[in-house]
Chains A and B, each alone.
Chain A
Amino acid sequence: MSTEILSGNEAIARGAFEAGVRVASAYPGTPSTEILENIIKYPSINASWAPNEKVALEVAIGASFGGGRAIACMKHVGVNVAADPLFTLSYTGVGGGLVLVAADDPEMHSSQNEQDSRNYAKFAKIPMLEPADSQECKEFTRLAFELSEQFDTPVMIRSCTRISHGKSIVELGEPVKGLPEPKLVKNPAKLVMLPGNARVRHPLVEERTVRLSEYGDSWSINRADYRSAAMGIICTGVTYQYVREALPEAATLKLGMVHPLPKNLIREFAAKVERLFVVEELDPFIEEQVSAMGIAVTGKEVISLCGELSPGRIREAFARAGIITKTIDAQQPAQEKLPPRPPNMCPGCPHRGVFHLLSRANAYVTGDIGCYTLGFMPPLNAMDTCVCMGASISTASGIVRALPREEQQRVVAVIGDSTFLHTGVNSLMEMAYNQAPATVIILDNRITAMTGRQENPASGYTLTGIEAPEVNIPALCRTLGIRHVRVVDPYDLEATRSVLAEEMARPEPSVVVTNRPCCLIKGEGRFDRSPVLEVDSDACTGCRACLRIGCPAIEWLPALDGPKGKASIDPQLCTGCTLCQQLCKFDAIHRAGGTK
């Protein structure tokens, strides 16, 4: 048997392969994205990007109803989008096994909230497994499919950033053999959830949860280890690893299945330890249920409700509560104030000029989720709201209804191509339908950039890189009922400025589509790096106009040439987009080599 170091996401992909999965669908979202990107290493799986998570889950549901094993993957906020089919899927049950992977992001390393997906499993009344390292990611994925078919239920796997992106050693196995071939089987009483049928299914769902809980009592993935009996800790997932590290003497009940809870096993564990704790990231999900069983337990009283845990944070919390004595003295962080290093849009990013213009035009910008959310950062400071995928357009549509006429003209929604196709289309339909007089900018950079450049229905390629029909975004907008749709080159500041001014003044809904690709998509002529630019320091007057676009390739050299200082361009970083050149009133920025 061979071993490899895999990330949790790679291991889930491997587990899907070993489980004989036929169909995989997802919308990219950090930290879940790499699952599908690795699944394509296994040609036996039909894998594709869906425009959003609801669609991804529905694709998996179709495959499962046809008798094939299917997997859908998303980040935690994606489950909100997929929640609608999920709850009914709980009632229909499955054909071939169906697994939904939800990757949570405690600490919000790249998310807009830190919701705890375990609540969805309870809410939708389906089992949820939570692996603690890459080996378990692979194993649990395989087990999840077995459980799904055995109990006729979708199964959720919850990962988190540290599991999905962490790496550890995995033993590779062989794919299962002898799974039934997919075929069409009619069973409307089970699969058509009209009230009459659904009423029959609901009691079966409740009964299933009871059976699953009993199954969990003796299932080996739920494991009690009695070390010292003084302190017993219930934990799951990566938290188990932190607990083992931080409190090595403590007894642990490591739950591989976090919903439904194995009640008898928990009672047994509680009875054998002197004091019972739950250490869990985010919500008191286990703690509340254990309390409701009438068992004395300590949890959120000690461990924070917010943010990611770590061995250090657990040790700190237990020491602060006087449960353990402090063993490690924290080092002093640097005393002086250090300049922060927030993420920034790339040099040559096609979004940068648009945000510069919006900020100059004093627009009120309703934003969305993607690289362009970084338009919020100084010096652009050009984003005023950002809620969730697709919300920019609907927020703009709503806000103008509350505003007087002159204020309406300042409202601009910005949304990327991928986000527009995700859920922005519905919002634009609403805006057109109700004739809300706001301007929408679709920043079409030909890719889903933020998560690492994934293809989408407008990019012209599939997940596996095969050419695909491209959605014609301007034509789609017209079809939805937008009469004024303009396409601009965002590298041409003056042209973009005048189009924006005209459309913002228009007392009707309008759409401006930008047409430059993300500067990280290389190949196929999609982004061509132009010759770099340089600053002629004799001509540079130190006016700082070029700094206003916040390009990481432009540095201010305060000490250069007297008191004012001068700009300088890093030739390693510059992509030659010419935005800074267009801002320079003194003609001090030229193509390197002296040509204009």
Chain B
Amino acid sequence: MNKPVTNILLVGVGGQGILLASEILAEAFMLAGFDVKKSEIHGMSQRGGSVVSHVRFGTEVFSPVVPEGEGDILFGFELLETYRCLSLLKPGARVVVNDFRIPPPAVLLGQETYPEGLAEKINARFSNFQLIDGLKLAAEAGDPRAANTVLLGAVAQYLDIADGVWQKALEKMVPKKALPVNLKAFQLGRSL
């Protein structure tokens, strides 16, 4: 496309806080003065299914979904779901992944195995790759549930958006009680 739109995908499993993370992103882009659109499917996917959230920003954004093969940044909350979504990305896209697995039903039942070496396989296709121990860093920040904010911080390194804007977006979207932990988690992610 000739219009400079940046395409971000957030992928993982229903219940991991993907919706909130994508809302914080979108809020930050709006505050930074961009046009922004986002979209994801919920409903059935709340019950532990795959979730893909699309966030797009630029001077003017049309479609709320990222066209296949045009994703610029992928934000992975879970390894298998990240691997499943690689075809949405453009060659050379940036991939930031939480080192975390949630076994799908067939694996829980012992009928299939969780594929091995996913991080290496992703890295082989996308050299702009970063693997993060989100859980550990979130625990360091004070709450393992803030892993998504750690990831957000890690992705923020690659987005040209001022600190104050992120701060504002977090303040608006995160419940007051959880704000200090999330701000810390964000900083930990950002300074990786």
Contact = CB atoms under 8 A, between A and B. Distances in A.
Please say whether chains A and B are actual partners in one complex: yes
Interface of A: 3, 5, 30-31, 109-110, 133, 161-162, 165-169, 238, 241-242, 244-246, 248, 310-312, 315, 328-334, 336, 338-346, 371, 374, 377-379, 450-452, 544, 547, 550, 552, 554-556, 558, 565
Given A30-B43, A110-B43, A346-B47, A341 B104 contact: yes
Interface in B1-39: 1-3, 13-14, 23, 26-27, 30, 35-39
Contact of B13 (A109, A339, A341, A450): A341
Contact of A555 (B14, B68, B88, B103): B103
Nearest to A554: B108
Interface of B: 1-3, 13-14, 23, 26-27, 30, 35-50, 61-65, 67-70, 80-81, 83-84, 86-91, 103-110, 112-115
Given A550-B109, A552-B105, A451 B67 contact: no
A343 B63 contact: no
B65 A311 contact: yes
A450 B43 CA distance: 7
Nearest to A565: B110
Given A166-B64, A245-B67, A246-B67, A344 B47 contact: yes
Contact of A242 (B38, B62, B89, B104): B62
Given A165-B39, A330-B68, A377-B105, A341 B47 contact: no
Given A109-B41, A342-B49, A451-B43, A241 B64 contact: yes
B80 A331 contact: no
B110 A544 contact: yes
Contacts of B2: 248
5 contacts: A30-B43, A31-B43, A315-B67, A550-B105, A555-B103
Contacts of A556: 108-110
Classify the secondary structure of A's interface with B.
loop
Contact of A552 (B1, B48, B115): B48
A369 to B, nearest CB: 11
A169 B45 CA distance: 25
Contacts, number: 173
A340 B2 CA distance: 36
Contacts of A329: 69
B62 to A, nearest CB: 4
A41 to B, nearest CB: 16
Nearest to B105: A344
B80 A341 contact: yes
Contact of B37 (A167, A336, A344, A452): A167
B44 A165 contact: no
A137 to B, nearest CB: 12
Contact of A339 (B47, B48, B62, B80): B80
Contact of A330 (B69, B84, B108): B69
Contacts of B37: 133, 166-168
Which of A336, A340, A565 has the most chain B CB atoms closer than 10 A to its own CB?
A340
Given A166-B64, A315-B67, A344-B105, A338 B115 contact: yes
Given A3-B30, A342-B49, A331 B87 contact: yes
Given A162-B39, A374-B47, A340 B87 contact: no
Q: Which 4 A-B pairs have the closest CB atoms?
A: A556-B110, A110-B43, A30-B43, A166-B64
